[in-house]
Structure 1
Amino acid sequence: MKLLQQGKKEQEMTKREGAMREESEEEKWVHDESVDYKGKVPLRSSTGVWKASLFVLTIEFSERVSYFGLAANLITYLTKVIHEDLKTATKNVNYWVGTTTLMPLIGGFFADAYTGRFPMVLFSAFVYIMGLILLTMSQFIPSLKPCNINICHKSTKVHEVIFFLALYCISLGTGGYKPCLESFGADQFDDDHSEERKKKMSFFNWWNFALCFAMLLGATVIVYIEENVSWGVAALVLTILMALTIIAFYVGKPFYRYRRPEGNPLKPIFQVIVAAIRKRNLSCPSNPALLYEVPMSEKSQGRLLSHTSQHRFLDKAAIVEDKHVEQKNNPWTLTTVTTVEETKLVLNLIPIWLSSLTAGVCVAQGSTLFVKQAASMNLKISHNFTVPAASISSAAAIGTLICVPIYDKIIVPILRRVTGNERGISILQRIGIGQTFSVMVMIVAAIVEAKRLRMVPNSNTMSVSWLIPQYMILGFADSFSLVGLQEYFYDQVPDSMRSLGMALYLSVIGVGSFLSSFIIIVVDHVTEKNGNSWIGKDINSSHLDRYYWMLAIINALNLCVYLLLAKNYTYKNVQRREMEHGGRKSDELEMVP
């Protein structure tokens, strides 16, 4: 009897050991539809996570140094070198920033649908560096220089053509860079592995940390070179830095995890809408289990989403009729629950995107009117050193560099224990905190500008250090709103649209810049009728304090609308297969907040 019991125990132990070996073997590989550079299932230990994303961060860092080195001081170049007035220069900066942040919608779409993210990044790198080379040539080749003499009151037409061609070539390159790099970096973490999923949440924080460090270098070192050495030397430095990081990015190729493009990501959305319209006369079943879905074991790509109660009309696209055999072969008449839910996700993005545009308007002030404020103030730090006006924007980067590590390493762990949420607080709550800071930015900016204007008649010049608080608060706002928007537009879009999702995040800043230009035009048109325009030809004849108060009110009203949207928002409901502690758990549902 004892021998029999001992034999059973040995059999059970053998089974357990076998199961553990199978689980350990399963843990070695990444099963999230990604592949390695040879097109095979990636080995977890040698691909992805931080070892791969650091290569991605490197090339993104150099691109952001270039962007901020140009964007932070562009209004100064347009007014002092090309000799544009304040309104024209501000609109040109906003148009360029807007175009640069809207081009990713095109690049993100083609990456998701046809090329994949890695090839799109390489193509965009070539276009981007061509723009930097053109910019460098416009400063060194005599026939392309701004002036034929050292001092002139108007730049040559050929220089303006080459200069703006270089700028918009950089915009075109950014169209593939920005949406693909960040989503490609996030792809290096497995959503079905609990430890990697937590690292992905930190990835967005540290991504923004690296971006702000790049902004700090761009707004200080590069701007200093532009102001005190030459724009040509600055452009040459940026070109060399970009070339080196492109090489480094390509060297990291064996460490990456790649996602294959899944075709036009917008097509399934149109199929759901068409199928729902065709079945508009049908009634949705009370039991969602009666709706059509492909079993997880039969699904070749992507994850399954569980049914949610919102936008019930779209559920009709998944109703199975008597002729369901023919329907299953025609996605324009019958779609799965997952496809319906992905369409609902896209519809949910629209109000959040619209209510986030005011954050983009606030960001636009940091590289335009805030810089002109700084230029009119006392820029001397000591008798021997004068800080460039554009470099004061580095205070925003410093604010973010302070805020992100504190939030990621101290606040999030505490909130995780308090709320039980993996993120500490939900994504939309984080964005809401950022929007609250945006209101504070405009209030502080209005108070400081009013004080500066009162000192102008007495020929007193306010110290530029007065602008530090509004820039610091802008950095805090970015730490919450912009990082939150990055995570939101990556996480809450369908898996097949993640590059396009990052492009939608960038479009918040792009449309915000265009919206800022539109507001300036409207405000100038309305206020100049009284002969006292809020935005005049120069900073001292303007009333930017009133303009900032108006933006503060707009942001406050928008925040109220946003809070209502966030309160009623339904997050992505994923059927996740959890991988943890070397084993694979059973399928389970998880709402992703």
Structure 2
Amino acid sequence: MGNTDRLLGLRHCPSDLMVDIVDYRGRPANRSTSGGWTSALFIIGVEIAERFAFYGISSNLISYLTGPLGESTAMAAAALNAWNGVASMLPLLGAFVADSYLGRYRTIIIASLLYILGLGTLTLSSMLPIFHPAKCGMACSPPPLQVALFYVSLYLVAIAQGGHKPCVQAFGADQFDQNDPQERVARISFFNWWYFGICCGVLVTLVVLSYVQDSIGWGLGFGIPCIVMLFALVLFLLGTRTYRFCLLQEESPFSRIGRTVVALARKRQGKLPITELQSDIERVEETKGLLRLFPIWTTCLIYAVVFAQSSTLFTKQGGTLDRRISSKLQMPPAALQSFISASIIVSIPIYDGILVPVARKFSGLPSGITMLQRIGTGMALSLISMMIAALVEMKRLKTAREFGLVDQPSATIPMSLWWLVPQYVLLGVADVFTMVGLQEFFYDQVPDALRSLGLALYLSIFGIGSFISGFLISVINKTTGRGGDSWFSNNLNRAHLDYFYWLLAGLSMIELGLYVYFTQAYVYKKKQDTAVM
């Protein structure tokens, strides 16, 4: 393999030997002149821009679906959950392609180009004159061609994210040598500041783009993310000379894991001599290490269902309230999600700068608390958030009845947006614990050759969670709508989002109990993290 092939055929390899890590020319990488925070900052910048672009369309998408596309609340929420689910599941495919064939570097570049294409066609679908006849107002149904182009563009963005998301974060973490004491501590901070940077980008897009989309136009609101994604690609290429790269192994890790799973199954059936497996103990252990992650993966799914509500039902709920910040300024419904980002931005420096050093003195762990303890803490906070959301929704419905607004779905409920702030803030703090904890856990605990897959597994939690959310909404909407207004009626004043929130709180409580049970038996891959939940 020549130098060029070595650069483009990249993938994470065991990082305990710096000699196996190369620079952009394919030469052995020098720790002092490559990687570290210099490279990581380029990559964090790329992710901030990508999250700005992604949330620039996803955070306010329910308003576009129920507005220009004319879909019902339940239909729009189900469609959005389905898209989010696909977007979060496709990283499994992206990780497979990157780890087995293209490598992370090349996968990121191809995914970025697909991103720009998808966002560009999405912008066209909302701007072309043929989709907006001059004699037709808002009452007209959108042309089928517009709807088709919109959804094709939307799923092209999902495909692009599938290649981009698992590779960028893994590539960023690869810039730190886990066997170097200083770089290992820096890598722990990297996951915190990575999420901090993402939330800064999300905060800006929630405040700026939601206003642009609601007040100026969807064409510009979709066009800005396209331009930002082009900037992200340029920034990523500019950092090439500073990156550390790992070379593809001769055998795909997916093939190796697959063969081992089949061999273990044959052994259990007595069809395979035990000596055949004993000849490759390392391969067996890394396969078992991957399989033991699935109880943790499964018991985090309801957390992902709760997470899905912030961009769907929370947004519709907030759209009915008094959102005036001043006499002339009103906050767009989607911008309410900025309270999540703001709470994360405030919480991460506190967590990384105060909580971790204090906890480190008692536990002796570099991370202060274990990854599983961190995840479980966030799950408990999300449970409390859903309980508060249910209580606030009960208050909103009561206020609508008291002021005779039950049959006026377009009327503003005389209830301030500040009632919603606690549920958003708690979800943000929960993300600092669970979201960042899951990222570190699924990067750190998978076999070294499957780091992209590990982060794809983390993302798939939210994909399956979105599917579960969409399924629950569809089934409950159909079931409860038979006798009158469903829980998700288009007239939210006759709906019962509070019932749905209580249901999610109950499921979260069951999930947390199962999570604690399974984590008691979990044994960490790294000796530094031997403590249990």
TM over 0.5: yes
Aligned positions of 1:185-264 closer than 5 A? 185-262=172-249, 263-264=251-252
* Residue identity opposite 1:169 in structure 2: L
Deviations 1:435-478 (A, max 9, x none): 00110110000000000000112145211111111000000111
Aligned counterpart in structure 1 of residue 514 of structure 2, from 549, 558, 561:
561
Q: Runs of 5+ in structure 1 lacking a partner? A: 1-28, 283-312, 321-326, 328-332, 575-588
CA distance in 2, matches of 1:419, 1:521: 46
Does residue 440 (structure 1) correspond to residue 428 (structure 2)? The answer is no
Q: Runs of 5+ in structure 2 lacking a partner? A: 1-15, 406-412
Kept in 2, the 8 Å contact 1:85–1:538? The answer is no
Aligned positions of 1:139-154 closer than 5 A? 139-145=126-132, 149-154=136-141
Aligned counterpart in structure 1 of residue 254 of structure 2, from 266, 275, 285:
266
Deviations 1:486-536 (A, max 9, x none): 011111111111111111111111110110011112222333344342222
When residues 413 and 466 of structure 1 are mapped into structure 2, their CA distance, relative to the original with a 3 A threshold, is: same
Aligned counterpart in structure 1 of residue 523 of structure 2, from 544, 567, 570:
570
Deviations 1:66-92 (A, max 9, x none): 111111110001111111111111111
Does residue 135 (structure 1) correspond to residue 122 (structure 2)? The answer is yes
CA distance in 2, matches of 1:381, 1:401: 21
CA distance in 1, matches of 2:102, 2:117: 21
Deviations 1:149-202 (A, max 9, x none): 453332121211111111111111101100000000000000110000000001
* Residue identity opposite 1:449 in structure 2: E
When residues 103 and 270 of structure 1 are mapped into structure 2, their CA distance, relative to the original with a 3 A threshold, is: closer
| Residues 521-530 or 348-357, more deviating | 521-530
When residues 424 and 147 of structure 1 are mapped into structure 2, their CA distance, relative to the original with a 3 A threshold, is: farther
Aligned equivalent of 2:340: 396
CA distance in 2, matches of 1:280, 1:514: 34
Aligned equivalent of 1:452: 396
Q: Which has the higher contact order (CA 8 A, sep 6+)?
A: 2
Kept in 2, the 8 Å contact 1:189–1:196? The answer is yes
Q: Secondary structure at the match of 1:414?
A: helix
Aligned equivalent of 2:103: 116
CA distance in 1, matches of 2:152, 2:258: 37
Aligned equivalent of 2:453: 500
Q: Deviation of residue 334 (structure 1)?
A: 4.8
When residues 454 and 423 of structure 1 are mapped into structure 2, their CA distance, relative to the original with a 3 A threshold, is: same
CA distance in 2, matches of 1:528, 1:434: 34
* Residue identity opposite 1:72 in structure 2: S
CA distance in 1, matches of 2:514, 2:68: 43
Kept in 1, the 8 Å contact 2:59–2:334? The answer is yes
CA distance in 1, matches of 2:309, 2:21: 40
Aligned equivalent of 2:44: 57
- Using the size of structure 1 for normalisation, the TM-score is 0.82
* Residue identity opposite 2:184 in structure 1: R
Aligned equivalent of 2:311: 367
Aligned counterpart in structure 2 of residue 347 of structure 1, from 286, 291, 297:
291
Alignment root-mean-square deviation, CA: 2.1
Aligned positions of 1:17-28 closer than 5 A? none
When residues 277 and 560 of structure 1 are mapped into structure 2, their CA distance, relative to the original with a 3 A threshold, is: closer
Does residue 380 (structure 1) correspond to residue 333 (structure 2)? The answer is no
Aligned equivalent of 1:520: 473
Aligned equivalent of 2:280: 336
- The percentage of counterpart residues that share the same residue type is 39
When residues 408 and 259 of structure 1 are mapped into structure 2, their CA distance, relative to the original with a 3 A threshold, is: same
* Residue identity opposite 1:124 in structure 2: A
CA distance in 2, matches of 1:179, 1:353: 16
Does residue 158 (structure 1) correspond to residue 145 (structure 2)? The answer is yes
* Residue identity opposite 1:470 in structure 2: Q
| Residues 197-206 or 375-384, more deviating | 375-384
> What is the total number of aligned residue pairs between the two structures?
507
Rg comparison, structure with higher value: 1
Deviations 1:342-395 (A, max 9, x none): 111111111111101011101100000000001111111122111101000100
When residues 62 and 452 of structure 1 are mapped into structure 2, their CA distance, relative to the original with a 3 A threshold, is: same
